[in-house]
A and B are shown apart, each in its own frame.
Chain A
Amino acid sequence: AQKVTQAQTEISVVEKEDVTLDCVYETRDTTYYLFWYKQPPSGELVFLIRRNSFDEQNEISGRYSWNFQKSTSSFNFTITASQVVDSAVYFCALSEFVGNEKLTFGTGTRLTIIP
């Protein structure tokens, strides 16, 4: 069975600090996909990134970066120079193949950026 663990329930940092959100996953599949979603206070779910199990290259998008390590089954998300608008709940998710309806979500990490 698939499982996603986000051990950090809540994190608070002061604006402009860097912050890393941890995600550890379990799966028996050799092909799988990992996702990060953002849920701001308004409640909608915003897609951030999708990564397949064959691509371990780190990815950077502006202030966001993702570190995928199959050896430790982790897919961590770092925000550099955090801003108040980054305050949200962040979910890590796993699926057997891209677009599989059966996304397994972690329980989320609530990130608060203190001005």
Chain B
Amino acid sequence: NAGVTQTPKFQVLKTGQSMTLQCAQDMNHEYMSWYRQDPGMGLRLIHYSVGAGITDQGEVPNGYNVSRSTTEDFPLRLLSAAPSQTSVYFCASRYRDSEQYFGPGTRLTVT
């Protein structure tokens, strides 16, 4: 199993540009999540999904969209990037009552 994979690993955007961070898992996990990690603030939940076709907002959802058309994939879309979205983004997945398995992260810089 590849586990949780994220692409790209690094990305630089200009303010106002849009992009999609990709996340995929091959463990048939029902639950998937996106977190952002900022210096001195730990990780904060952006959006999550409890199954294909079902998504919900986390603690910091503004500026981000998600969809879950398949069990495997959970992309995170930035509609109009802002410097405040400069962060490291982690995707995670889990199966029912297991712990979260995190992907390797995407480092995003918005200039």
Residues of A at the B interface (CB closer than 8 Å) are: 4, 35, 37, 43-45, 47, 50, 91, 93, 98-99, 101-103, 105-108
Contact = CB atoms under 8 A, between A and B. Distances in A.
Interface string B75-111: 0000000000000101000101111111111000000
A101 B58 contact: yes
Given A98-B99, A99-B99, A107-B42, 20 more contacts: A35-B99, A43-B88, A44-B104, A44-B105, A45-B90, A47-B100, A91-B42, A93-B43, A98-B97, A98-B98, A99-B97, A99-B100, A101-B45, A101-B48, A102-B48, A102-B59, A103-B35, A105-B42, A107-B40, A107-B41
Contact of A102 (B40, B41, B58, B90): B58
B33 to A, nearest CB: 5
